[in-house]
Chains A and B, each alone.
Chain A
Amino acid sequence: MIQFENATRTYGNKVAVSDLSLTIPSGELFALLGPNGAGKTTTIKMLVGLLRPSRGVIRVCGHDLITETRSAHLHLGYVPDEPYLYDKLTGHEFLRFIADMYRIPRDLSQERIKREIDRFELHEFADELAENYSLGMRQRLVFAAAFLHDPDVLVLDEPMVGLDPRSVRIVKDLLKAKTADGMTVFMSTHTLAMAEEMADRMGIMVQGNLKFLGTVSELREQVDMETRSLENLYLEITSSETGEHEVASDDI
């Protein structure tokens, strides 16, 4: 479970995320949408502990990310938009490293590494150095690493970038299965179709404020438009708010 309680993050005078209060229960896939500079990446960075909120509290499975950082991280899996891999480690060695980090016993970790290699079809390159991997291969390995310790909460930042259609299908099916088993998924995306297809609930963030929170059907009900495509609804919500104050950096 994820809890944001009045989480606020400022960059100098600019409020990147303002008083975010949100609870995502176990077994829910939540999609965060918003234009560039809306505060999505800031929210994700706070959720994984890279940024501290200026005010408020964030909890993962009941653990405060500031005071119980390691305990919170124990429950967390993270797939960033620009995944980091050790170039001089093979895929297999990287998974072994992750397994050891979560203190998974050796026999169980062997089993899980094999499971993830099978699941993400890494056999062909698992024993090659990561420096030779393509973007898609890297992304698949990062997914495998994120699922290796069976996290209770999975945070995904633009997860499908670089994946081929088959891998996208694998990830989508896996996310559905895992959320059905009780995993909480927090996903930031620009792909509206993906959010529409996958998300139990979605939030639309504009200039640091959560402008909409609910299901797709609730979103359709809220905005009265003739053409009820999600794209039009999204543009309607975001267009009135974005404008001259948009921050240049896409990372905020």
Chain B
Amino acid sequence: MQNQLLDIPQENQLTRRLRGTIAWNLVTTIFHQSRFRFGLVLVLSTIFWAAVFCLFYDAFNFIDSMHAEVMSLLFNTFFSALMVMMIFSTGILMYGGLYRSGESSFLLTCPLRTEAIHAHKFTEALWFSSWGFILLGSPMLIAYGIVRDAPWSFFIMLIPFIVTFVIIPASIGSILCMLVVAGLPRLRLHTLSISLALVAMGILWFSWSTFGSIQSQALTPAWFEETLSRLAMTEQVFLPSWWLSSGLLDAALGGESRELTHKSTLEALKFLGLILANALFLSLVASWVARWTYRKGYSNLQAEVPIRRHRKLFWLDELLSHAGSQVGNPVRLLLVKDLQIFRRDVSQWSQFVIFFGLLALYFYNLRSFNYSHVYASLIGHLNLAVVGLILSTFTTRFVFPSISLEGRRFWILGLLPIHRDQIVWSKFLFSFVGGLIPCLGLILLSDSMLGLPWSSIFVHLMCCLALCGGLSGIAVGMGASMPNFRESSPAKIAAGFGGTLSLVLSAMFIILIVITVGFTNHLNLLQQTIGQLSGNTASRLLGSYGGQVASLLIIIAGGLLTTFLPLVLGIRAFRQLEP
């Protein structure tokens, strides 16, 4: 019997069924094989959702009672920022999905329309790029509805508003991605780099012009007024974010009379219709662009000549290779190798730069706020926790899988005159030194911007040392104890049971360190600021210098224990390993 081509609804049904089957198998696999991870993700997401809801609930209560007129401005700012982020995130996801994935190569050899392949990958990208929006936006909007005593129709309309809205920036991102690849394949990297640099500069300029040059003193009513007036630029009637904000604000109106509710709901529906019409139009444009450019762009990209670079030994590698004694040579060589891989793996260093760069930007801006000593101390401790948490995500994502990945190349390492312990030690040193340098810098920046006393800075630096050692010890030790040699993707190794456990233990370690030092340090500052504490003896003792020294000793001991215990266990396990 002759094979037949599918029509458009059949193609859509086919890809929809494919995604459904994959999603179902994924969920059942996770539920059966990684219940711990599944439960943890569920619990943490719920806690996060609840925390965001409470935060917005309080904030909306405050704003509603004092500054109800700024609500529109806040919504516009929030949604316009999300819109810009979604354009870029979907564009990047579509690039990976349409042009760099094995699935797209496979589907392009099948009798499917390019529009169907685009729609399939677009749905995936839409989901990936908008889940953050849903996680952050849903508690905010529900909190707003409750505070404003919105009619039930508001809560019903939230879903179509969000779903239709996200299609607009996602379609724009997808269209831009396909046009750039089809039109400028050879310059795609340059175009992308220049675009990103321009956007980064634009954001910096916007931040600076919005907050940097405000004349009024920070956090005063005049300061707020000046800041809000600058954010008014997001209230443009042609922006989809304005349609969404206006629609939601209208949908939440009412309550006073049935007629008013009816009228505002109708207004909201008009905005929903406007968003829906634009979403459908842009989807059609994206589909049309896919039909005319996707295969051509894919082919052009495939035909690009790979750039062959003659890489010379970097000065740092040269320096490291020849530094120190002969005994430590294998560890140094392994370090140089890891350093070379890190430098050439854009996904590693770019995330490192983005996250630590954003933190540095935030810490640098702390000087705009003249906090009192007590608040500055609290914020300093929170910043310490944030630095630790960011570092723990890196140690879990990149350091934990490194032993498993090394195991895949074990036949090379096994033939070299290297002791297995040296492999583990080199991973630890790489993680410890690599984490310590930026973390110390960030803590110094944060504390100096907050104007903390040197004693507090010293304590924070010691904590940082303990955190870097402990987090590296946990990641390397557990990576050696629970390796996964079947998996080649570091992301999948990190997402397994060992990686999740490593992340949880890292988070617990960070909390313990920060609470231990934060509590005594904070009590000490309180004593200095408001004199002798009137509380019980325990508070006075903890707040004394003796208490501080004791907490410092606990941190040092805890740091050493968390560094070396997992490492020793990991080394023992690694010695017994038979890959």
Instruction: Tell me if B44 counts as interface (CB < 8 A to partner A).
Output: no
Q: How far is the CB of B544 from chain A (nearest CB, A)?
A: 58
B237 within 8 A of A: no
A70: min CB distance to chain B, Å: 5
Q: What mask results when residues 41 to 58 of chain A are scored 1 for a CB within 8 Å of chain B, else 0?
A: 000010011111000000
Asked if residues B308 and A248 are in contact (CB atoms below 8 Å), the reply is yes
B109 x A73 contact (CB < 8 A): yes
Q: Annotate B18-42 by CB proximity to A: 1 below 8 A, 0 otherwise.
A: 1001100110010000000000000
CB <8 Å contact, B5 and A49: no
Complex Cα distance, B98 from A50, in Å, reads: 12
B6 at the interface (CB under 8 A from A): yes
Residues of B within 8 A of A49 (CB): 108-109, 295
Asked if A88 and B22 make an inter-chain contact with CB atoms under 8 angstroms apart, the answer reads yes
User: Which of A76, A80, A103, A249: most chain B CB closer than 10 A?
Assistant: A103
On whether the beta carbons of A70 and B113 are closer than 8 Å, the reply is yes
B412 sits at the interface (CB 8 A):
no
Interface residue from B4, B29, B103, B303 paired with A103 (Cβ < 8 Å)? B4
Binds B, one of A5-13, A116-124, A207-215: A5-13
Distance in angstroms between the alpha carbons of A150 and B308 in the assembled complex: 42
Beta-carbon contact of B299 and A74 below 8 Å? no
Interface string of A9-33 (1 = CB under 8 A from B): 1111010100000000000000000
Known contacts: A51-B302, A70-B5, A84-B102. The answer to whether A101 contacts B29 by CB under 8 A is: no
Give every chain B residue within 8 A of A102 (Cβ-Cβ).
3-4, 111
Contact A103-B299, Cβ < 8 Å, known A49-B109, A70-B111: no
B40-77 residues with Cβ-Cβ distance < 8 A to A are: none
Chain A residues whose C-beta falls within 8 Å of the C-beta of B303 in the assembled complex: 9-11, 16, 51
A174 to B303, CA, bound (A): 34
A50-B299 contact given A73-B110, A74-B5, A84-B103, CB 8 Å threshold? yes
Of the residues A84, A93, A150, contact of B106 by C-beta under 8 Å? A84
B29 touches A129 (CB 8 A): yes
Q: Is B10 part of the binding interface, using a Cβ–Cβ cutoff of 8 Å?
A: yes
User: Mask for B300-318, Cβ within 8 A of A = 1, else 0?
Assistant: 0011111010000000000
| B105 interface residue per 8 A CB criterion | yes
Q: Please report which residues of chain A, range 72-93, place their CB below 8 angstroms from some CB of chain B when the two chains form the complex.
A: 73-76, 78, 80, 82, 84, 86, 88-90, 93
User: A76 — which chain B residues lie within 8 A by C-beta?
Assistant: 109
B5 touching A103 by the CB < 8 A rule?
yes
Q: Which of A98-120 contact B (CB under 8 A)?
A: 100-105, 108
B188 adjacent to chain A (CB < 8 Å) = no
Instruction: Tell me which residues across on chain A come within 8 A of B106, comparing CB atoms.
Output: 84
Q: Are A93 and B305 in contact (CB under 8 A)?
A: no
- The residues of B that contact A71 with a CB separation of less than 8 Å are 5, 111
In the bound assembly, the distance between CA atoms of A143 and B17 in angstroms comes to: 23
Q: How far is the CA of A75 from the CA of B111 in the complex (A)?
A: 9
Known: A10-B303, A11-B303, A89-B21. A50 touches B5 (CB 8 A): no
Report yes or no: B110 in contact with A101, Cβ–Cβ below 8 A.
yes
CB-CB nearest 3 A-B residue pairs: A84-B106, A73-B111, A84-B102
Taking A50-B105, A50-B108, A104-B3 as given, write out 15 further A-B residue pairs in contact, using a Cβ cutoff of 8 Å, ordered by the A residue number.
A11-B303, A49-B295, A52-B296, A70-B111, A73-B109, A74-B4, A86-B103, A89-B25, A97-B18, A101-B111, A101-B112, A102-B4, A103-B6, A104-B1, A105-B1
